[in-house]
Amino acid sequence: MGYNFACDNLFNRNFIMVLASIITIGDELLTGQTIDTNSAWMAEELNKIGVWVKRRVAVGDVWDDIWNALDEESKIADIILITGGLGPTADDITKPLLCKYFGGNLIVNEQVLRHVKYLFEKVFRRPGPILERNLKQAEVPDVCTVLMNERGTAPGMWFEKEKKVFVSLPGVPHEMKGLMKKEVLTRLQRRFKMPFILHQTLLTYGMGESFLAEKIKDWEEQLPGHIKLAYLPHYGNVRLRLTGISDDKNKLEKELEEQSKKLKPLIRDWLVIDDDMTIQQVVAKILKERKQSVGTAESCTGGYIAHLLTIDPGASSNFKGTVVAYDNKVKEDILNVSAQTINSAGAVSEETVKEMLKGALEKLKSDYAVATSGIMGPDGGTEDKPVGTVWIAVGNNRKIEAQRFNFRFDRVRNIEQTAHTALNMLRKFIENHDSSA
């Protein structure tokens, strides 16, 4: 099909783009029982090889809805990726529908059949004979190219019709990702000639997107037509993502770097890093470079900061541990917070978080520590300390800094906002202080 990017209002330059649509199938996606993470992951991987995702569509387990989605998406896209509906139960109708849609007949694929039997007999080792519905997973339309699913029983299926590519994949994320990486992406790269889609991301903290936009509006207005800026806000930080499209990768890399250099001085006061990293990844990077460590003493965040710091592999090199001191007695017994401090200043106070931090440094033997105490809601607030009131302390054995915040969101967002704010406070503290100073 090809797509002239000069006709698109996102970019203003002639590029023959390869467009994709992603169709996710399942009633559970529409009722909210299952969150669709598949299409986001697929879009990211497609973007890496130069495919622009034009649309993402979710439909239920309804024959006509799936059929109509295939018709509609094939009008605008070169590639239609479909996930879900390939299981062995009655509500999994994708395979027979695709068979009829492409005018084929279901036949048993012997390679898939051997694989299904191997899984049930050697891997799953379930007692009794294999159910007929499981054996039927080996049935595929005779008009498709079978993509072997090493991680499950449902094979992927590749169809072509009127120069469009349709790929049906299992809805199980682990299985879908395996097929995408081993089969689909490489086949698409052989099938289509694609331009390069590159990104340059800068992470900022402490300034809202509207204020940032006002600050850099003159710079943004001078961007060339094939480079655009996106504002991606998230819990106090805003990622500024430059996206460029070109058939000349080296030239595009230089252009993005030049634009990034022009942008940095304008956002110097809020710039965290010129890389696509989360705030916890930035903190971990700084600690690893300095061969230092951190621990946390958490009340209102309930261990969420520790969770963020241990999401990525390698955390053991810079994270010592956490004390979740939700109850005041735990603050006293484990972190050595004075009962008098809690009684006089309150659990949510500068004095308490500072003593929590000192206790964490002593117990965890870390170079730095973070402490939090607050009122997350929906109840527990007072006139002096309404819901969303939080005290955060960061520091080391030489210096402690504490600050009060008033977030006033719902409980979940208050916890997440506190955690991200605490990590940014820690980042700034580490950058400005040496643990031995």
328-335 vs 350-364: helix axis angle to the nearest 10? 40
Q: Is 261 exposed, middle or buried (0-12, 13-18, 19+ CB in 10 A)?
A: exposed
Pick the CATH number of 196-273 from 3.10.350.10, 3.30.70.2860, 3.40.50.2300, 3.90.1150.10: 3.30.70.2860
CA atoms within 13 A on the CB side of 384: 4
- Report the C-alpha gap between 386 and 378 in whole angstroms: 10
Strand locations in 214-263 (E): 227-234, 237-246
- Report the C-alpha gap between 132 and 393 in whole angstroms: 61
- Report the C-alpha gap between 87 and 240 in whole angstroms: 40
Q: Which of 273, 256, 253, 259 is nearest to 219 (CA)?
A: 259
* CATH H superfamily, domain 279-432: CinA-like (3.90.950.20)
Model pLDDT, residue 388: 96
Model pLDDT, residue 161: 95
The residue with tokens 């199980």 is 172
DSSP designation for 7: G
Q: Which amino acid is at 108?
A: V
Indicate the domain borders of the chain. Answer: 18-191, 196-273, 279-432
Tally of CB atoms within 10 A around 426: 28
Model pLDDT, residue 14: 55
DSSP 263-314: HGGGGTTTEEESSS--HHHHHHHHHHHHT--EEEEESTTTTHHHHHHTSSTT
What the block records as the tokens of 170 is 């299992």
Does residue 155 have a cis peptide bond before it, meaning omega lies within 30 degrees of 0? Answer: no
Model pLDDT, residue 260: 97
204, 389 in Cβ contact below 8 A?
no
278, 309 in Cβ contact below 8 A?
no
What the block records as the tokens of 270 is 């809020």
* CATH H superfamily, domain 18-191: MoaB/Mog-like domain (3.40.980.10)
Residue 172 CB contacts under 8 Å (≥ 6 apart), including other chains: 151, 152
> What count of residues does the chain have?
437
DSSP designation for 4: B
Model pLDDT, residue 157: 97
355, 341 in Cβ contact below 8 A?
yes
Ranges of residues in the chain whose predicted pLDDT is under 50? 1-10, 12-13, 435-437
pTM across the whole model: 0.79
